[in-house]
Chain A
């Protein structure tokens, strides 16, 4: 690239602000100009420098511009101005000086600097130079050139000819235009690789030009103690403490603090309502100590990967090793993650359902702890923002959605800047071993080398799921993967049995429900998003109990401007004295009246109504709801254990308490989210339960709840799945909405005639997801065996 340094100045291609106040804008444009290596860089910088003669960035930009324009004398002048005023971060000034000396033909001095500081240190210093990243190849090229020149001079025999085959750059000479041009072009050719113009020359080379090899020396910058002066003054003032006993005690206290290592986890005492198991604690220790925070957690379903990930997160937070955290999950699991982080780990997170994401995406993603659906995060407008964030910890749930490196999901996670990365998946391999390759490459690029080499080394030709070099592959995988299995961690749970009682509503109940559905559909067509949530709540309340429906309609009427039809409906619901569900419940309770039973309800009004009914019917009971204090809850559970066989509770019922003495559960109403149902069952069906668990579902014919039960029970046999499998199945669904939202949409956005088909289609999708999950489960069991257990 020949450049005539005496050419008249050319107006820069982009107009620069004239007002001196626009320094930031000015700099942005200068960065673009210089980073893009546009011509006449120095001329472009000078006006800014004249306006701000002592600005350090402008001074360095002027130095770099001078080097790009091959005007090393100017560069050295600005460099001297810079070093007079400022102390460089590391040796970036030496790097610039070395290049300037080389451009002046003072190769010995340039080489001396490179030798003095080391090429590694100089290359590392590039990050402290403005436009360092954009010009990294250029800087590297110069350092290499200086090194090669030094080596050549050390070994070369001088050739005493005027016109020498040796390039001009190697002859000791005075600085000249021609030689400077030559010197400037050589690094570009070597570092920037083949270009379109050089196609011919490039095509003849057998190997690609090598990538620069980086040797990063860990810099050690020690931050001094805070308020050191004050402390030293206190320490040295006359009359300081003479109590050596206290001094010794304090000394001992500081020593004890040092004994906290990763062997003992700090997070354990801080968890709420979490019973941790030895394999989870071991897994967390391994992640922290052995895997340095980059691992694929591939435990079988139901063993608590979320808990393990939460513990790792909490541990890093407590130790001050992570601040900026991103959790990526399928859309169906965002709410669950948020709740678990908040209730179990005291970690409050923003989620991608918040309005801030739409109002100000930049501010949203900059928050310290964010849980987002991966579908949202991968959208182009968000992905760019995410790529600019620096994360300490990224967690990806259901990470098998990253199995294909050509997908936006994989690309997203690959481009995120992160220190620690946890990938969670019970089924990391679904169709082909290449999926495993793609996942592990996210954790440790190059662990299996290139895909081509991986296929050649580890895959059996024609059989994409069969490993060829199983032992070697497992050896490598042990560096990045933990997989706890039920059998090895000795987790045994008894079976669970579900019975759904489909109840005929009274004529009035049925008519009210139909009328409510009609009104909800009408409102929904014209309503806003907040109204949509309220309508969902109405429908849910009507599926729970008539009393709850009446109370909810009243609140809806108060909050929204609605028609007369709502008031009429409210009155009709309030007039319903007894419901079919109440009858059914009382019947159930009279079977084995001494057997402990938990009755779950979703709505508080339903809970209050049931309490009334139990009192009238003479069934002793205990109430448990989220609003009770800790001691009140403990007392309620204790009464349930010792005195009273019936516990009426809301969703929080028994949370964190040992209720395995009970093995019968009644779902009086049904939450729409299967995972909430699973959580209810999980209060009883957990480690420590010795007896089979019996689940009774009460559903009124013609309601949305009946349809949900039909889907969950008949399509995927949910109530007899292994605990945690429903999460995995929902994770297989690629929907961008929660399951509750999907069922609500199917119910209100269709006519009565269309509804069965819409719900059936949803059921089919869920069944398909279950089928996919089961096939994958079998594959992974065969592939991994029990070789990756934490303990």
Chain B
């Protein structure tokens, strides 16, 4: 464990133990001494007075605590389910936006419609921020965390703002006394099925983006292995073929050998497929609902004869405009296409042609299948 990680681990342990009522004193080098209450002793399987060492060199009579020892699991048991969910209200001054049109120009690209800014007004909104852990296992293993944020007022994916929102939520004091004004018109709760659908659609692309380099590396190795195996068995086959050409007797044997080479080649390809078979599992680690004031920009979008009002929020916590909502895949890019029927805003992929019949259709209107040929979306 690096010295920085050791310090970080020690600080975490100290804060956690203190939160649960232990008396904690630092101990050189890179250690701490704690007097634990009974409940904590029981959970950590530790005595009342415990010395822990986190660095390469242990304090006298200290137990070694490393990332690979079971102490991290024990601390997890101490945390139990606490700290998974958090709801905060963060009130900050709301600056007036001097050039909202410019903000929208840089923050929204409509491929097939026009828009007009109708109104800019203060409002309140709620953000749902999910922290998910993903684990990708193939012949290697990758573990990571990704965050996914939604503005519950308009369905915008606020991934680019998440770090700032989290930081603001966690760094300000607990403002239990902060009340949301009665006229705030907070967005209603999303029913669980709607949330579930949003996460289902939003997750794969985000996981893929996080694993992009990992996947690229694996794909390169797989391609190299396939090439190597192909070259090898092609060589074997060629040698058998040439023997077949030369031999006038016992050609049946060489033919059998040719067939055997092909079968073995197929088996090795299957082996490689199994080797690189990738399983990605995810887990919801934490969720934060953050209520904060925003500057709400109301836009009127016009497509052919239809028009529709949508809102985009500017967050004072992140000091930027959110990406426009995608009502199909919750992506955070800024380019949108407007469908003809319900004027849904979707990403270009959400309005792509059908793989079968080539018809462009809106996946928000027809989430399951193409309206023309019935091909599944």
Contacts and interface: CB of A to CB of B under 8 A. Distances in A.
B151 to A, nearest CB: 14
Contact of B204 (A222, A226, A231): A222
Given A113-B356, A417-B270, A193 B75 contact: no
Interface string B94-114: 000000000000000000000
B83 A243 contact: yes
Given A97-B356, A256-B8, A249 B255 contact: no
Interface in B238-291: 238-241, 244-245, 251-252, 255, 258-259, 262, 264-289
Interface string B129-165: 0111111010111011100000000000000000000
A257 interface: yes
B255 A229 contact: no
A445 B268 contact: yes
B365 interface: no
Nearest to B289: A236
A228 B280 contact: no
Given A84-B374, A213-B230, A241-B83, A268 B258 contact: no
Contacts of B207: 220, 222
B46 interface: no
B76 A253 contact: yes
Nearest to B175: A242
A571 interface: no
Given A218-B215, A229-B192, A446 B200 contact: no
A216 to B, nearest CB: 6
Nearest to B134: A222
A565 interface: no
Interface in A220-257: 220-226, 228-229, 231-236, 238-257
A216 B222 contact: yes
Interface stretch (A16-24, A167-175, A202-210, A519-527): A202-210
Given A116-B355, A246-B83, A445-B232, A417 B274 contact: yes
A199 interface: yes
A449 interface: yes
Contacts of B279: 221, 223
B213 interface: no
A249 B289 contact: no
Nearest to A441: B232
B1 A264 contact: yes
A194 B356 CA distance: 36
A452 B239 contact: yes
Contacts of A254: 131, 133, 145, 285-286
B174 A242 contact: yes
Contact of A242 (B87, B196, B234, B282): B87
B364 to A, nearest CB: 19
Nearest to A419: B275
A249 B12 contact: yes
B67 A113 contact: no
Contact of A255 (B145, B211, B225, B376): B145
A447 B274 contact: no
Given A218-B222, A264-B66, A235 B85 contact: yes
B173 to A, nearest CB: 9
A241 B85 contact: yes
B374 to A, nearest CB: 7
B87 A220 contact: no
A220 B83 contact: no
B75 to A, nearest CB: 6
A266 to B, nearest CB: 5
B280 A220 contact: yes
A255 B67 CA distance: 11
- Which of B86, B225, B262: most chain A Cβ within 10 A? B86
A266 B265 CA distance: 36
B84 interface: yes
Interface in A86-122: 87-88, 94, 97, 112-113, 116-117
B82 A241 contact: yes
B180 to A, nearest CB: 12
Given A84-B374, A199-B251, A113 B355 contact: yes
A266 B235 CA distance: 42
B5 interface: yes
A577 interface: no
Interface string B184-195: 000001101101
Nearest to A127: B273
B229 A445 contact: yes
Contact of B211 (A112, A199, A220, A415): A220
Contacts of B176: 242
A219 B280 CA distance: 10
Given A232-B192, A292-B139, A265 B68 contact: yes
Interface in A262-287: 264-266, 268-269
A321 B283 CA distance: 18
B282 A222 contact: yes
25 contacts: A203-B244, A207-B241, A208-B237, A210-B234, A211-B262, A214-B269, A216-B226, A221-B280, A236-B189, A243-B86, A244-B88, A245-B19, A247-B288, A248-B83, A254-B145, A254-B286, A257-B67, A258-B145, A260-B72, A269-B68, A321-B141, A415-B267, A445-B228, A446-B231, A453-B235
8 cross-chain pairs, A with B, having the tightest CB-CB distances, nearest first = A446-B232, A250-B83, A208-B241, A235-B287, A246-B83, A446-B228, A450-B235, A247-B86
Interface of A: 80, 83-84, 87-88, 94, 97, 112-113, 116-117, 127, 133, 136, 193-194, 196, 199, 203, 207-208, 210-211, 213-226, 228-229, 231-236, 238-260, 264-266, 268-269, 292-293, 319-321, 390, 414-415, 417-420, 444-447, 449-450, 452-453
